[in-house]
Structure 1
Amino acid sequence: MTKTLLLVEDTPSLSLMYKTVLGKAGYEVDCAFTAAEARRRFDAARHHIVLLDMMLPDGNGSDILTWIKAQAPETRVIVITANGSIKVAVEAMRMGASDFLVKPFDELRLKSAVAHAQPGPIPLVGREVPEEVDRSAPPGFIGDSQEMRDIYQTIHLIGRSTATVFITGESGTGKEVCAQAIHDLSTRSDKPFVPLNCGAIPQHLLESEVFGHLKGSFTGAIADKEGAAVAAHGGTLFLDEICEMDLNLQTKLLRFIQSSTVQPVGATRARSVDVRIICATNRDPAAEVAAGRFREDLFYRLHVVPLHLPPLRDRDNDVNLIGEEMLRRYAAEEGKRFERLSEEVQGLFRQMVWRGNVRQLLNVLRNVVVLHDGLEVTPDMLPPDIGARKVAAAEPDLDQPLEGRAAFSGMVGRSLAEVERAFIEATIAECNGSIPRAARMLEISPSTLYRKREAWERAERAERSEAV
């Protein structure tokens, strides 16, 4: 086990704090405060582990990282970035860093990153990784669209890290599959992956499910329960539908993340745990924060590496790749002969909205396989209402006189831009602030709504500045 490491941090107080924490953990720490000093110290000792701040007074941390990997490819480099510099961190991972820390981070996070960076087999990174390998589909994923290949690349890059990941996407897009893939690609893959759906557990039982309880701590507690956080010790805790969590429990979750300790219901002492947290939601977390339903400080603690999964309708021909692969699997399970989708069915699938995304597609295929047989799925085998789910939206009756259409009466006299904004904001409000849900209702991409809202906010700020 490597006990001597190089710490490159230009802030003396932070350098002293990191050195103290690592010293108590049994490590010897060489400290450097500049890029030039880092080069001299590394040249002299060739440390196996380097903690590298990306912002240095006399140089860029990326240059030091590149230089270290060229001198000693086996050295594990853990980069340190400021909050909001995730793109820098991900690029550092692409260049060969083994992990990254986002300031501020706690003692356990620091010690965990160093422990996981101990010498061993080093995965191919940076330029050594062929582009097609870098973007290969992780286990559980099917699809070859550009949108998904970008997702695959990100999963491969952040899998090696222990940073918190926040996955967003509509229901049925594969958020748990994504979390499992990140865990399987991490150094924690031999430890537990513990999923917990915050929206499927009654609020009064959720604290016990997450943190555990002692026997007799409340009515019905007939035995001790360790809770999901303890069960995931050393591995990954996946909190699905995190925005469904009660505000009081969010406070306790924040304390858990900050201290890396859990206190079961009814217990007087806390215990330390080492888990990587991955969370997911089908809501817009920023909108939940703005509405007061999600703590802002918790959001920034969890939103370290954001990852958005696109809806099935935005994934080009992936719907048919998934469809034929799962069709063959279901046929094998049911003893049927199905091998492919007909061209007519493939065309129909590409046109559909798929409000339930992959989950809806799988339900349709299972229905077909159970009720029919043959080599090819034809349109007459599909559920009766499947043709009504195309992308094309119902259009207003333009033959009706304008003055007879009461729904439009309040819009006459307003600009098209005003009408568009009013309609979009009303739709988002109807969806309780969920932009993904509003996007599904409007049958457009969530990114389109985000861009429009950002443009409106910029325009309002500009108007206020001019008024001042």
Structure 2
Amino acid sequence: MKPKVLLIEDSTSLALLYKQYVKDEPYDLFHVETGRDAKAFIERNMPELVILDLKLPDMDGEEILDWIVEKQLNTSVIVATAHGSVDVAVQLLQKGAKDFLEKPIKSDRLKTSINLHLQRTKLENLVEDIENKFDRHRFRGFIGSSIVMQGLYKIIDSVAPTSASVFIIGESGTGKEVCANAIHKESRRADKPFVAINCGAIPKDLMESEIFGHVKGAFTGATTDRKGAASQADGGTLFLDELCEMDLEMQKKLLRFLQTGTFTPLGASKEQKVDVRIICATNRDPLQEVEEGRFREDLYYRVHVVPIEMPPLRERGNDIVVLAKHFLQQYAIEDEKQFRTIAKDAEAQLKRYQWPGNVRQLQNIIRNIVVLNDDSKLQVAHLPAQFSQNRSEPKRTSVAPVKSQTINETPVDVPPTSSLENSVDALTNHAHETVPDAQNVVIRPMWQIEREAIQQAIEFCDGNVINAAVLLELSPSTVYRKKQAWEAEDEQSYVQ
């Protein structure tokens, strides 16, 4: 069955023109002239895409967009108007529109926009079907079914039954302790203790006592014998969080314990032997810590048997909304508030935000909203000010953003934006430039051009590598592989 595209346009002549534009395309274009007919058609047929004129005879087209967003209908909206402006376009995109077309709409522009959004919808539905059929939405304390989390769950499944040491790396707030606990719960040690130590929160003078314990009189204030974390975790799992915060002398003692399984409590003369599995974690780059002399190289290779990298929240897609709803409903019940769901435009704001504090930051923000408000639905107005200030600024990693291309030493800016308008216009202008003289042509290596093209596509798709691969007509694995290789090269250059 062909995809359905609904054109809401009060001008019959324009509707006929647009139908002529797409008569050979692999989808069916339907036409209605009023907002009332549009709502009836959408409810009966649920088109994959709606092209919406803002000036309708019976209502403002923006009301149709609000209606679609409010009912959370599974259709994308492209707004078309001759009365638009940049401010109107931004406002409508924030409300949930996927693209903005200004009349008169050209044939190529219309076909490109429709095809792009139909491909994106098809891909999103395919991913959702796969997730619903095969993937887990919750796992040992984790909430989320995104692709990166499914990969994490499978790694935990593989490593948990073994005795291998695990080193968890990730930004603060990504859930490193949740990951360590999940490994413990899935292992054969699940019925034994799980003991967690935060190496960054314990003064270095007390670290040895915290891990290995002490006997009475070992130091001032040691009035009784005390078991350390290693003894408490005997038979189970010892989780050392923020390991790179541990001082070098203590790292030396920890290394011996990991190699022999034995230790001597502080002030004691007799060694003790325990059976514990070690899981470590850090929010730093451990190799950089080794190179700068703050982390022992031999300890690094001892604990870095199975590395696990925790994905930051900004890379988890719709998991952001799922987590936000979970926290919202949890705190609403605890505080006897009315909150039950999140408005569609607020969901969009949550997904655009970069979340430097990751899940912990999301949890705190939702907690704050529930405490200070009492509505049935979380709205954009409830969100902190930084959401409106930084909504469209993607976080840059080690791959530098591409700001312009140089053809005959003339820069052509291609700004990343959720609307296709500026990108298509820039490419159209570029295509009509006068061919430069051969002696003035700037020839650049193909790898540079390839890197810029891939980086621009990723920025255009708001960091979504799969969507970028679709636009580039490449395999997602190819884009991932090249992106990771460039990031590794940049990181190595930075360290040197």
Q: TM-score, normalised by structure 2?
A: 0.54
Inter-partner Cα distance in structure 1 for 2:486 and 2:263: 39
Superposition deviation, residue 449 in structure 1: 7.9
CA 1:361–1:202 in structure 2 vs 1: closer, same or farther (change >3 Å)? same
Deviations 1:387-435 (A, max 9, x none): 234351699xx9xxxxxxxxxxxxxxxx9x99xxxxxxxxxxxxxxxxx
Inter-partner Cα distance in structure 2 for 1:332 and 1:450: 47
Structure 1 residue runs without a partner (length 5+): 1-129, 399-414, 419-444, 462-468
* Structure 2 equivalent of residue 294 of structure 1: 295
* Structure 2 equivalent of residue 427 of structure 1: none
Residue 180 of structure 2 corresponds to residue 179 of structure 1: yes
CA 1:385–1:143 in structure 2 vs 1: closer, same or farther (change >3 Å)? same
CA contact (8 A) 2:135 2:145 kept: no
* Structure 1 equivalent of residue 253 of structure 2: 252
CA 1:259–1:454 in structure 2 vs 1: closer, same or farther (change >3 Å)? same
Deviates more, 1:263-272 or 1:386-395: 386-395
Inter-partner Cα distance in structure 1 for 2:278 and 2:370: 38
- Superposition pairs of residues 12-51 of structure 1, within 5 angstroms: none
Deviations 1:311-351 (A, max 9, x none): 00011111001111111111111111211111111100111
Deviations 1:16-65 (A, max 9, x none): xxxxxxxxxxxxxxxxxxxxxxxxxxxxxxxxxxxxxxxxxxxxxxxxxx
CA contact (8 A) 2:286 2:300 kept: yes
* Structure 2 equivalent of residue 310 of structure 1: 311
Percent identity of equivalent pairs: 49
CA contact (8 A) 2:136 2:145 kept: no
Superposition deviation, residue 457 in structure 1: 5.3
* Structure 1 equivalent of residue 24 of structure 2: none
Inter-partner Cα distance in structure 2 for 1:292 and 1:234: 33
Superposition deviation, residue 201 in structure 1: 0.6
Inter-partner Cα distance in structure 1 for 2:374 and 2:206: 45
CA contact (8 A) 1:136 1:153 kept: no
Residue 157 of structure 2 corresponds to residue 148 of structure 1: no
Inter-partner Cα distance in structure 1 for 2:368 and 2:135: 36
* Structure 2 equivalent of residue 390 of structure 1: 391
CA contact (8 A) 2:137 2:143 kept: no
* Structure 1 equivalent of residue 111 of structure 2: none
Inter-partner Cα distance in structure 1 for 2:390 and 2:198: 29
In structure 1, give the amino acid aligned to 2:158: L
CA 1:381–1:185 in structure 2 vs 1: closer, same or farther (change >3 Å)? same
Match of 2:489 among 436, 441, 454: 454
Superposition deviation, residue 136 in structure 1: 6.0
Aligned CA RMSD, in angstroms, stands at 3.2
Q: TM-score, normalised by structure 1?
A: 0.57
* Structure 2 equivalent of residue 351 of structure 1: 352
- How many residue pairs were aligned? 287
Deviations 1:175-207 (A, max 9, x none): 000111110111111100000000001111111
> The residue matched to 1:148 in structure 2 has which SS?
helix
Inter-partner Cα distance in structure 2 for 1:225 and 1:450: 49
CA 1:345–1:236 in structure 2 vs 1: closer, same or farther (change >3 Å)? same
CA contact (8 A) 2:354 2:394 kept: no
Inter-partner Cα distance in structure 2 for 1:352 and 1:131: 26
Deviations 1:81-128 (A, max 9, x none): xxxxxxxxxxxxxxxxxxxxxxxxxxxxxxxxxxxxxxxxxxxxxxxx
Inter-partner Cα distance in structure 2 for 1:247 and 1:131: 48
CA 1:238–1:327 in structure 2 vs 1: closer, same or farther (change >3 Å)? same
Structure 2 residue runs without a partner (length 5+): 1-130, 397-402, 404-443, 449-479
Inter-partner Cα distance in structure 2 for 1:450 and 1:256: 36
Deviates more, 1:191-200 or 1:379-388: 379-388
CA contact (8 A) 1:338 1:373 kept: yes
Deviations 1:255-305 (A, max 9, x none): 000000121111111110000011100001111111111111111110011
